[in-house]
Amino acid sequence: MDASNALPASLDLTGRRALVTGGSRGIGRAIAITLAARGAAVAVNYARGEAAAREVVAAIEDAGGKAVAVGFDVSDADAVAAGFKQVTEALGGLDILVNNAGISIDALLMRAKEEDWETLQRVNLRGTLLCSKAATRSLLRAKASGRIINITSVVGEQGNAGQTMYAATKAGVIGMTKSLAKEVADTEIRINSIAPAVIQTPMLEQVSQETIDYMVSKIPVGRTGKTEEVAALVHYLSSDECGFATGACFDISGGRATY
């Protein structure tokens, strides 16, 4: 995949190795394809949906890029260790981690199920923590520069009725990002998070038009975001252009978040 399309050297990811968790669909798919288009070799992680992950790999390879599908559960410590070993062996190392894997279970807190809370914590918080720990260890051991980008949500900053549990886990990801960034700030590792508002993904097909209209009514730009727009921000944060920003949460919310 030719990354030389007038890209300045500081945005060119040629030679970089990236892992995108939950990379088989939606935002993760767009991120994997965008990073590959900018020159990175990409590992597309999936927990379920191997066929979809292999479709993303095929799309990258058809465009001349390098990619591999790697299946592991981000919430399982042993699986993460084995998965990271597989990624580094397949790609020759790791420079960029995008913690995109996550789930949403919506319910008013008074009606929420305990098992749903456990599931949200396991995937959204534990999964992000385990992968960040593995990536940080790998980068520190290699004495390499690197990037970790955590996909959180504007709901983690502002809250949403009916999403108390989800909001708590996504707020936790923001706090995790800020703290870990400080722990490695004296190295060349930069860690940031991205907080999207509602993004146009296949998941929205399961949501009523009334609910979508309500969510869009809160967005001053007046539309849902595009997966490619999130991926473009991930590209910037993965590049050498982003050398001074760390521990930050970048909103991509169409003006919903204004602070």
Q: How many domains does the chain have?
A: 1
**Is 257 a domain residue?**
no
Predicted local distance difference test score (pLDDT) of residue 211? 77
Maximum CA pair distance of the chain? 54
Q: How far apart are the first and last CA of the chain?
A: 38
Tokens of 123: 């995937």
Q: Which amino acid is at 179?
A: S
Backbone dihedral angles phi then psi of residue 180, each to the nearest 5 degrees: -65, -35
Predicted local distance difference test score (pLDDT) of residue 258? 66
Backbone dihedral angles phi then psi of residue 190, each to the nearest 5 degrees: -120, 130
Work out the angle at residue 175's Cα, subtended by the Cα atoms of residues 125 and 156, and round it to the nearest 5 degrees. 70
Whole-Å CA distances, 88 to 33, 82, 212:
19, 10, 40
Predicted local distance difference test score (pLDDT) of residue 214? 83
3-class SS of residue 151: strand
Domain extent for 48:
9-251
What is the side-by-side order of every strand in the sheet holding 146-151? 67-71, 41-46, 17-20, 96-99, 146-151, 189-196, 249-252
Q: Which residues are catalytic?
A: 166
Whole-Å CA distances, 253 to 16, 48, 152, 201:
28, 28, 12, 15
Burial track 173-187 (b if 16+ CB lie within 10 A, e otherwise): bbebbbebbeebeee
The CATH code of the domain that includes 62 is: 3.40.50.720
Predicted local distance difference test score (pLDDT) of residue 8? 84
- Strand pairing of 41-46 and 17-20? parallel
**Is 244 a domain residue?**
yes
Residuewise pLDDT in 10s, the chain (259 residues): 555 456 788 899 999 999 999 999 999 999 999 999 999 999 999 999 899 999 999 999 999 999 999 999 999 999 999 999 999 999 999 999 999 999 988 889 999 999 999 999 999 999 999 999 999 999 999 998 999 999 999 999 988 888 899 999 999 999 999 999 999 999 999 999 999 999 998 878 777 788 788 888 989 999 999 999 999 999 999 999 999 999 999 999 888 876 6
pTM, entire model: 0.94
Helix or strand holding residue 58 (H, E):
helix 50-62
**Is 146 a domain residue?**
yes
**Is 1 a domain residue?**
no
Distance of alpha carbon 128 from alpha carbon 101, whole angstroms: 8
Predicted local distance difference test score (pLDDT) of residue 6? 66
3-class SS of residue 255: coil
Q: How many CA atoms lie within 13 A of 74 on its CB side?
A: 32
Distance of alpha carbon 218 from alpha carbon 211, whole angstroms: 11
In contact, 119 and 73? CB cutoff 8 Å: no
Predicted local distance difference test score (pLDDT) of residue 1? 57
Residue spans of alpha helices (H) in 121-208: 127-142, 155-158, 164-183
